[in-house]
Amino acid sequence: MLSDFHQNNWSSAIEDELQQLLKIAVAEDTGFSGDLTSRALIPEKLYGSALIRSRESGVMAGIQAVAAILKIINPVLEWQPMIADGSPILSGDKIGLIKGPVQSMLIAERLVLNLLGKLSGIATLTKKYVETVAGTPAKIYDTRKTTLGWRRLEKYAVRCGGGRNHRTGLFDAVLIKDNHLAVGHDGGGQFTPAEAVIQAREFFRLHSNSFHFEHFPESFSQSLPKNENQSAPFMPIIEIEVDTLEQLQVVLPVRPDIVLLDNMVLPQLIRAVEIRNKLAPEVELEASGGINLKTVGDIATTGVERISVGALTHSAIALDFGLDWS
């Protein structure tokens, strides 16, 4: 049975990425002088509490990141979440309570609201796609079209919305695209799709000792597909992109794990599924390219198992949250 790509549930790898982002975020907001407005108006020893509330309906994502934001601003700040990631939320819902020094809370406010808004926007959009294809064999996947430095966080938000994660990075799966084929053998001639799959598989067979799981750092290996025997050689998922039915027919006999059908229209997708069912029914098909909420439902009925949507992360609109003093 085909194993899937690593799924980005909350982990130490995500927390490490968040810590790196927060160092940049705090520095760009406070500079060398801190919060000038709060320093001028708010007594340093004043303590208070405030509620985070949603101002739109959607799907929650980012709750687990709030504590890390508050800690980096001031470890004295307290966070009491009132809802879990992945939960549906309505406008006006209480998300959580922050307590502590008011100056520190005001520094943290925009960082918290920005992060919750961005991640919840991705989760909310993902949920719409997932609901649109409900009842079909198709699963909704994200892509690498993510904000620089935010990839694991954004892919986590996709999971909160019920979507699936495609490869986390170049390091955890083989995806042979048209540019790989075009460069070809030592840069001197194009690969056929079948040749490329065969060579990739042979490479990992010959060099498997370089890819044992024990060779990877813990934070890195969390993003690698896992086998039952973690001491076994690393054999990644091998996926290849095709843009014609002729290429599909050529590559199916060598049985890649997944074939990505790039920018194919509905009649082509239907025919692709027929060809796959006849030649290699164990190979999964992924539709990709310009897919939106208007088209995804029809694509899901063609019989493809996977639909990858870059818009989940590159076009999601942030959900609106606010901080209200209590």
* pLDDT tens digits along 205-246: 888 777 655 444 555 555 555 544 455 567 899 999 999 999
Judge if 116 and 142 occupy the same domain: no
Q: Is 39 a catalytic residue?
A: no
Taking alpha carbons only, the member of 141, 210, 202 closest to residue 171 is 210
Sheet-wide strand order for 174-176: 139-141, 306-308, 284-288, 258-262, 238-242, 174-176
Q: Is 45 a catalytic residue?
A: no
Judge if 294 and 148 occupy the same domain: yes
Judge if 108 and 210 occupy the same domain: no
The pLDDT, as a whole number, for residue 207 is 83
Residue 5 lies in a domain: no
Which residues of the chain register pLDDT less than 50? 1, 214-216, 227-229
Judge if 165 and 299 occupy the same domain: yes
Residue 1 lies in a domain: no
Contact assessment for residue 12 and residue 222, using Cβ atoms and an 8 Å cutoff = yes
Residue 177 and residue 196: Cα distance in Å, rounded?
10
Judge if 87 and 229 occupy the same domain: no
Q: Is 85 a catalytic residue?
A: no
Residue 256 lies in a domain: yes
Taking alpha carbons only, the member of 140, 139, 108, 137 closest to residue 122 is 140
Contact assessment for residue 249 and residue 275, using Cβ atoms and an 8 Å cutoff = yes
Residue 101 pairs with which residues in a beta bridge? 47
Judge if 276 and 176 occupy the same domain: yes
Collect all residues with Cβ–Cβ distance below 8 Å to 312 and sequence separation of at least 6.
Answer: 122, 125, 126, 129, 140, 142, 143, 158, 161, 163
Judge if 268 and 119 occupy the same domain: no
* Active-site option among 94, 145, 255, 271: 145
Q: Is 257 a catalytic residue?
A: no
Judge if 165 and 20 occupy the same domain: no
Domain that holds residue 41: 12-123+317-325
Residue 113 and residue 224: Cα distance in Å, rounded?
31
* Active-site option among 15, 178, 243, 262: 262
Q: Is 177 a catalytic residue?
A: yes
* Active-site option among 39, 55, 110, 226: 110
- The CATH number of residue 27's host domain is 3.90.1170.20
Residue 227 lies in a domain: yes
Residue 120 and residue 59: Cα distance in Å, rounded?
6
Collect all residues with Cβ–Cβ distance below 8 Å to 192 and sequence separation of at least 6.
Answer: 181, 250, 251
Radius of gyration over alpha carbons of the chain, in Å?
23
The pLDDT, as a whole number, for residue 209 is 73
Judge if 178 and 301 occupy the same domain: yes
Share of the chain above pLDDT 70, in %: 91
Q: Please give the structure tokens belonging to residue 102.
A: 């008011």
Looking at the 3D structure of the chain, how many domains does it have? 2
Judge if 40 and 162 occupy the same domain: no
Judge if 86 and 157 occupy the same domain: no
The pLDDT, as a whole number, for residue 228 is 44
The pLDDT, as a whole number, for residue 1 is 44
